[in-house]
Amino acid sequence: MSEEEIIQYLSNTPDFFVRNADVLDALTIPHPVNGRAISLLEYQVNHLRKSTAEYRGQFERLVEVARENESTMQKSRRLILAGLNCRSLDDLAVAVDDMVRDDFEVAFHTLILFGDHQDCSIKCHNLDVDQGLMPFTMNLDECFCGILPEKEMAYLFAEEAGQVNSVAVLPLLSRAGGDIEKRGLLILGSDKATTFDQEKGTFFLQHLADLLSAILLRLTP
């Protein structure tokens, strides 16, 4: 009789071991770790424990993801409400300051607008006279995590550049008509290299960048 036939027979006869309990008692299985013989019952208990541990790990990960999603939703909600209350670019700067302090808890950030905005206190960068100050950063159309070239770090963070060990760059873009127009940048800086690690995802950062871009476009013609 083949193994397949035995499996099929036992599957079709679920009460076999009930009617032949002495066979069940005599069955032994090698331990999966040390190789010693153990009873079928002990094997099943060990298997159930392993499965339970795996399910517990999966459950804990699901809870962690749910908490992260709730946190993301709350941060997005606060930014949307702040954006609706913005009436000027200076109001936007205040909203960004609050977001950086309350949601990211990072020590450094730089908000830059492209073009000439003389009526606000936000740092402006003239693209026509760029002079190659941010060649790497200016080429970014999506969020970036990691560290920037030393020259660009000095331009963005001035005398504090030496304290910044990781950054997140959020490009502020207009995608009207399918064309990408660069409107500005928000750069977050941390003194910890792991805060904005390149291996971390940028999905939430991209979401925030899109929200900030929408607010900025509402405040600028």
Q: Indicate which CATH number applies to the domain containing 212.
A: 3.30.450.40
Interatomic CA distance for residues 25 and 33, integer angstroms: 22
- Across 191-196, average pLDDT: 88
Residue 49 lies in a domain: no
Q: Answer whether residue 207 is part of any domain.
A: yes
Percent of the chain with pLDDT over 70: 81
Contact 197, 206 (CB under 8 A): no
What whole-number distance in Å separates Cα of residue 213 and Cα of residue 80? 11
pTM tops 0.75, yes or no: no
**Rg over CA atoms, the chain:** 29
Read off the tokens for 25.
Answer: 């008692």
Residue 64 is assigned to a structural domain of this protein: no
Q: How many domains does the chain have?
A: 1
Asked whether residue 82 is assigned to any structural domain, the reply reads no
Structural domain of 142:
87-219
In a domain, 58, yes or no: no
Tokens representing residue 66 in the block: 């749910």
| Cα distance between residue 148 and residue 142, in whole Å | 15
Q: What is the pLDDT of residues 20-45, one digit of tens each?
A: 666 666 666 565 555 555 555 565 66
Residue 131 lies in a domain: yes
Q: 170 in a domain, yes or no?
A: yes
The 10s digit of each residue's pLDDT in 69-80 is 677 678 778 888
Tell me, yes or no, whether 175 lies in a domain. Answer: yes
